[in-house]
Amino acid sequence: AQSVTQLGSHVSVSEGALVLLRCNYSSSVPPYLFWYVQYPNQGLQLLLKYTSAATLVKGINGFEAEFKKSETSFHLTKPSAHMSDAAEYFCAVSVFSGNTPLVFGKGTRLSVIA
Amino acid sequence: SAVISQKPSRDICQRGTSLTIQCQVDSQVTMMFWYRQQPGQSLTLIATANQGSEATYESGFVIDKFPISRPNLTFSTLTVSNMSPEDSSIYLCSVDVSSYNEQFFGPGTRLTVL
């Protein structure tokens, strides 16, 4: 069975600083990996996905993530944080390309300090 | 992409009553998924709904408590039965659009049980 571990339930960064949200996965087969963002009182929005193509994945709002098989990691980064990035971020994994539910990590709440 | 709507967006209910949540998708999809997000927690899969067959429930969730209907390829309902305060959560439906290799989420139904 697959699983996801997100290190740090809460990350706080200054505006303009690097954002790094950590995600490690466990899967017995090559995984499909996703990062979702949830703004307060809203649903989930896909930031980016890894589906066995390029290991460096670029997403929306300036975010990117790198798939590292040797480290079983898929960390999310953004060079410069904006106040509008404050939200809850979820890493998720599935083992098939379609019609398979996602397994989510516990989430990381990102705060951005002015 | 897929546009998903849910009704109601939020509700406050008395314990012992039932609430039916509707999920409507703007395109035909094979699988629909229902997740629960308890306060401050990650998403947990309740069940997978395939049109024309019984829903498949995850461990810890039973049909008597969370009956699901899937009458066609664009619609599903989840009922939360005999509610207790522990059922207070956000309930989200999602669909997998295989051509996009990603899951899309509805905006969620925020349920409070008093």
Per-residue pLDDT tens over the stretch A37-79: 999 878 899 999 998 778 899 999 999 999 999 999 999 999 9
pLDDT digits (tens, 9 = 90+) for B31-88: 899 999 998 888 999 999 988 888 999 999 999 999 999 999 999 999 999 999 999 9
Which residue, among A38, A44, A57, A96, would best test binding to B if mutated, counting the most B CBs under 10 Å from its CB?
A44
Instruction: Please tell me the number of Cα atoms within 13 Å of A13 on its side-chain side.
Output: 23
Instruction: Please tell me the number of Cα atoms within 13 Å of B18 on its side-chain side.
Output: 12
| Separation between Cα atoms, residue B44 and residue B53, nearest integer Å | 22
Question: Taking 80 as the threshold, does the pLDDT of residue A11 lie above it?
Answer: yes
* Cβ contact, residue pair A44, B105, below 8 Å: yes
Query: Where residue A87 falls among pLDDT bands split at 50, 70, 90?
Result: very high
A43, closest residue in chain B (CA to CA): B107
Q: Which of A42, A100, A105 sits opposite B42 (nearest CB)?
A: A105
Higher pLDDT, B98 or A77: A77
Q: Which of B42, B106, B110 sits opposite A90 (nearest CB)?
A: B42
Tokens for A66, please give them: 């790198």
**For position B99, what pLDDT does the model report?**
63
**For position B101, what pLDDT does the model report?**
67
Helix (H, G, I), strand (E, B) or coil at B8: coil
* Cβ contact, residue pair A49, B101, below 8 Å: yes
- B53 phi, psi to nearest 5 deg: -140, 170
Query: Where residue B9 falls among pLDDT bands split at 50, 70, 90?
Result: very high
